[in-house]
Amino acid sequence: MAPPRIPLPHLLQLHQWVAHPLRFMEESARRYGDSFVMQFPNTPPFLFTRDLEMIRQVFTGKPEDLHVGPVNRVLEAVVGKHSLLLLDGQEHIQERRMMTPPFHGERMLAYGLSMRESASRSIDRWPRSGAFTLHEVFQDITLDIILKTVFGLSEGATLERFRELFVRMLNMGSANAVLYLSALLPAERLHRVLAVGRDPIQLGPVKADVSWALPWTQLSRLMREVDTYLFTEMERRHAEGVEKREDVLSMLMQARDEHGQPMSDQQLRDEAITLLAAGHETTATTLSWAFHFVLQHPEVEEKLRAELHQVAGTGPLAPEQVNRLEYLDATLKETLRLVPVAPAVGRVLQRPMKVGEWELPAGMAVMACSYLTHRRPDLWPEPERFNPERFMGKRPGPHEYFPFGGGARRCLGMAFANYEMRIVFAEVLRRVKLRPATPYAFRVARRGVTLTPEGGVPVVVESRS
């Protein structure tokens, strides 16, 4: 039996998915049920599902049967072909093993003070009067945190230059146009389009740098500059030694595979950019959504303040106190239930398989859809209501709630993100009282593959402490 297909032209489906992703998913589920197939030009068919058994199969299936590389191929031009996001099978298992130690829960204490410091410095600069958008300031904070804890940069000119380059690079890389292009062009062509301008083009006997003339090449040029910075930085660290350094990149430079081999500089570059791309926007967006909900629910804010006071008194939160903020943890979980930054995670079948009740062909992408699953009324009563209490003292099953994906590919940075978000949230709560700047409706804008609050959550600082 084959699952129902959305009977719209492929181009129109692509437009709906890019421009109105949530409405498109919701309407399709209403019409076709728990599973339905979306199809864009030049991509594999995408079977979206909120069926728990199918999600279980997707997360627990054999890595050689279920690949993610084809789903993430669009990212290759930015993150590079060695990125964990693109690897599959044994290669993925081996690379992930090398990358896991810096992201173990117990490592988080080492990053805590730096995370709090990044938040605190940003808050110092927030306007005393007038509105500003939380999404923008959280992006600043989370980028600062990544640059310091992952890349190991300290304040100074290099950090500033890196920051500027990354912001421009990520803004360009997440433009909707890239999404359209990725579904319209075969992966190979897309990669070539995005890569044009990285190297001079041979015009007869002359090599010409044509990058200034092509829109995509601005992105390539930025990336080239980022790469130059990164390779120079790694060269310096190879020469000076990294044993005493605590940052993630330095730990990755010391990692060895089972044959005792280190990662090459190109691998390190690709993984560093991967961590930046995967770990910056996601946390900034979730923090923005969390404040959006909390500012609409004064009773939740009051409880959060009471908990923080009980755990940390009036002083700053110490890294080892973070795990005691249970209500804050529940608030962030509830935020990710309602707005999982990535609304679905996919695996491409490498052979024909029976998934749930469907016989599916090789090449189909099965998308475990967190957005729809997190709204199933049988699992989540009154699903649209923001209610952190749902998570107090409860642990939902891994196939009912999966904002960080699941199985062997579950988000590598989950502990890092959860820790960072609690530290930043607590510091904001301790230092300022915010109020929404304008009446603000629940609306979602797309930024690349993530969903962000439209307008960026404009707020005003009501008071400081």
Return the number of other C-beta atoms located less than 10 Å from residue 72's C-beta.
Answer: 20
108 or 193, CB closer to ligand HEM? Answer: 108
CA distances 308 to 137, 179, 284, 421, Å, are: 22, 41, 21, 14
CB of 325 to ligand HEM, least distance (A): 16
Instruction: Tell me which stretch binds ligand HEM (CB under 6 A): 43-51, 204-212, 399-407, 429-437.
Output: 399-407
Q: Give the rounded distance of the alpha carbon of 104 from its chain centre.
A: 18
147 near ligand HEM, judged by CB under 6 A? no
What are the counts of helices (DSSP H) followed by strands (DSSP E) for the chain?
19, 14
CB of 421 to ligand HEM, least distance (A): 6
410 near ligand HEM, judged by CB under 6 A? yes
φ/ψ of 36, rounded to 5, equals -155, 155
**Burial classification of residue 430, based on how many CB atoms lie within 10 Å of its CB (0-12 exposed, 13-18 middle, 19 or more buried):** buried
64 or 235, CB closer to ligand HEM? Answer: 64
Return the number of other C-beta atoms located less than 10 Å from residue 399's C-beta.
Answer: 21
Instruction: Tell me which stretch binds ligand HEM (CB under 6 A): 205-213, 226-234, 238-246, 400-408.
Output: 400-408
Q: Give the interface size with ligand HEM as a residue count (CB under 6 A).
A: 26
CB of 283 to ligand HEM, least distance (A): 5
Residue of 10, 15, 20, 96 that binds ligand HEM (CB under 6 A): 96
341 near ligand HEM, judged by CB under 6 A? yes
Residue of 35, 211, 286, 350 that binds ligand HEM (CB under 6 A): 286
DSSP per residue, 202-218:
EETTEEE--GGGSHHHH
φ/ψ of 398, rounded to 5, equals -70, -10
* 219-232 CB burial, b ≥16 within 10 A, e <16: bbbbbebbeebbee
412 near ligand HEM, judged by CB under 6 A? yes
328 near ligand HEM, judged by CB under 6 A? no
Return the number of other C-beta atoms located less than 10 Å from residue 133's C-beta.
Answer: 16
CA distances 385 to 296, 335, 390, Å, are: 12, 11, 10
85 near ligand HEM, judged by CB under 6 A? yes
278 near ligand HEM, judged by CB under 6 A? yes
112 or 405, CB closer to ligand HEM? Answer: 405
Residue of 195, 342, 437, 445 that binds ligand HEM (CB under 6 A): 342
Beta carbons within 8 Å of 159's beta carbon, 6+ residues apart: 147, 148, 153
CB of 86 to ligand HEM, least distance (A): 9
37 or 275, CB closer to ligand HEM? Answer: 275
403 near ligand HEM, judged by CB under 6 A? yes
Query: What residue has token string 């605190």?
Result: 120
10 near ligand HEM, judged by CB under 6 A? no
415 near ligand HEM, judged by CB under 6 A? no
The three-class DSSP label of residue 381 is: coil
Q: How far apart are CA 255 and CA 415, in angstroms?
A: 20
283 near ligand HEM, judged by CB under 6 A? yes
Catalog residues that contact ligand HEM under the rule CB under 6 A: 68, 84-85, 96, 274-275, 278-279, 282-283, 286, 336, 341-342, 345, 403-406, 409-413, 416-417
